[in-house]
Amino acid sequence: MLLITCPHCGTRDQSEFTYGGEAHISRPANSETMTDAQWAEFVFMRNNPKGVWAERWMHASGCRKWFNAVRDTSTDRFLAVYKIGEPRPNVTAAGLATPSGEPVIGSGNDAAKVMR
């Protein structure tokens, strides 16, 4: 079961939260002069990294506040949570031992075991 820490309420079950996509994308101020391509870039295009990225969550069944989180997409580990308006904390993931990035335990990846 995945637990998420709300910066206001503390650690709660994932079922209390809703997801809000990539964080720190601000709405362009000059939308009336933007081309369709530029608008589409803002509306649709997102990073999709394997590893550390910042995303938005909302504690829907609790305080109903949006907040930001830094998560490692390859392990689903939350590295930091912070309130809206606060800067993104400078956190890095613990290095992944396997060549393709999956967790060591349970991966069945013999190469990883050799590297460790």
Contact 3, 12 (CB under 8 A): yes
49-57, 58-66, 70-78, 93-101 -> range binding other proteins (CB under 8 A): 58-66
29-37, 39-47, 62-70, 93-101 -> range binding other proteins (CB under 8 A): 62-70
15 sits near other proteins (criterion: CB under 8 A): yes
Nearer to other proteins, 18 or 73 (CB): 18
61-73 as b/e, with b when 16 or more CB fall inside 10 Å?
eeeeeebbbbbbe
